[in-house]
Amino acid sequence: MSRLRDGHAVELLQGGEAYFASLVQAIGQSEREVWLETYIFNLDRSGVLVAQALEQAALRGVKVYLTMDGVGTPDIPAQWRTRFDRSGVRWSIFSPLGRIGLFIPSRWRRLHRKLCVVDSSVAYCGGINILDDWFDPNHGHLGEPRLDFAVRVTGPLVSDVSETMARFWWRQNPSGELRTREFPAAWRDLHGVMRRAVTELQAPVHSMNGGSDLVAPPGRPAAYAGLLLRDNLRNRRKIEAAYLQAIAAARSEVIVANAYFVPGVRLRRALVQAARRGVRVRLLLQGRYEYFLQYHASRPVYGALLAAGVEIHEYAASFLHAKVAVIDGIWATVGSSNLDPLSLLMAREANVAVRDAVFASTLRQRLEHAMDNGGKAVDAVEFARRPWQQRLKETLAYGIMRAALLLVGRRY
């Protein structure tokens, strides 16, 4: 069972406006290192502000490491390639597609994390790409901002994020500089593991789904938090397991907001069982067409969920991009992982799990506001009467997704 550690201050950031303002400020105050990973880095109005902050940090001697995904960001403008190179920003595009592109199943494994660490003292994690809230690359200008969240964290978790990002960078970007860093980096990794082990033995610990109410010592942050990773090595099912544990332990309420919701058998069963034992389960899902597969493949699971008493709300005020949950008003998670096969089985993802009543209450209020002001409840009777053309699209999309999983040898 995953463990959460004490001593964190966690701030919820809703939308790009709040996230970029905090991120740019932190980068602007950096003195030693900035690590940034993102799926999309769009040099639009908001992206330019982040790019300028990275450039200025590098010019004043800060070591800046920027990693973007080869699907989300296949390239960056020549002007910014030159500016990054001249300023000293170290930048990399993870797994470029090349000519054959996504026809090779192994290339479906993408870098979908949105992480940042500044000076090993503050970390950011969430679902927000470096992309303006009011613009979509495929659909153009949006009438309302995209709904998404991130967190700003200080405390022991920051070292976990820092070590995760550093290891990934040096594995993907071997160079002469690496040789001078290999032993020091390895020593830091070992020292970090030993330090965390000692801390966990000495400090009170909560599981992802249990524990008593927190009482913070004077002047000390109360939030328990933990970093949840998904990769193809040690952390294959860590994020999914955290959801399953928390839902299984829910006593009164489960709220999940997820952009691309195609849950596997275990997650569907957990939600149904929670609803049947009297837990109020509410899902806030994508109600606006974005991509054929993700939009249509999610709907074949609606029937069983609605029949069990799960409430489904479709958000259509703008695009829903959030990947968050609140359970029993105490446990919450914010991150990059959708509840679909790509995120849970193939992509590199990162979530932060938090056990704190104040933080959970804030996120819960934001989600209820979105349900009330941009969501529409799905009626079970009306859903059952949807036209055959809609059912055909759903069956086709779900079938394509299942066939894709067979190609990569995964079960879901």
Confidence class for position 181, pLDDT limits 50, 70, 90: very low
Predicted pLDDT at 216: 40
Angstrom distance (rounded) from CA 54 to CA 58: 6
Mean local confidence (pLDDT), 179-193? 47
Q: 233 with 380, same domain? A: yes
* Host domain of residue 284: 229-407
Domain end residue (candidates: 192, 220, 255): 192
Report the pLDDT value the prediction gives residue 294, as an integer from 0 to 100: 87
Which CATH number fits the domain that encloses residue 100?
A: 3.30.870.10
**Domain for residue 291, yes or no?**
yes
Residue where the block lists tokens 């979105």: 370
Report the alpha-carbon distance of residue 365 to residue 372 in Å, rounded.
10
Distance between CA 133 and CA 221 in Å, rounded?
31
Tokens of 247: 């839902």
154 with 296, same domain: the answer is: no
Distance CA 191, CA 201 (A): 16
CA distance 34 to 44: 21
Higher pLDDT, 184 or 165: 165
**Contact status, residue 286 vs residue 296, Cβ threshold 8 Å:** no
Among the listed residues 148, 238, 323, 340, the single catalytic one is 323
Q: How confident is the model at residue 100 (pLDDT cuts 50, 70, 90)?
A: confident
Assess whether 321 carries a catalytic annotation: yes
Instruction: Give me the chain's average pLDDT, please.
Output: 88
Domain match, 151 and 272 both:
no
What is the DSSP secondary-structure string of 155-212? Answer: STHHHHHHHHHHHHHHHHS--HHHHHHHHHHHHHHHHHHHHHHHHHHHS-EEETT--P
The catalytic residue among 6, 148, 328, 340 is 328
What pLDDT digit, counting tens, does each position of 309-328 carry?
A: 999 999 999 999 999 999 99
How far is the C-alpha of 29 from the C-alpha of 10, rounded, in Å?
19
323 is known as an active-site residue = yes
Residue 114 appears among annotated catalytic residues = yes
Structural domain contains residue 224: no
Catalytic hit among 44, 63, 119, 136: 119
Q: Which two three-digit tokens encode residue 48?
A: 């330019």
pLDDT > 90: what percent of the chain?
A: 74
Q: Would you tell me how many other CB atoms lie within 10 Å of the CB of residue 223?
A: 26
How many separate domains does the chain show?
Answer: 2
Same-domain status, 158 and 263: no
pTM of the full predicted structure?
0.89
Q: Tell me: do 240 and 126 sit in the same domain.
A: no
pLDDT recorded at residue 137: 86
Rounded CA Rg of the chain: 21
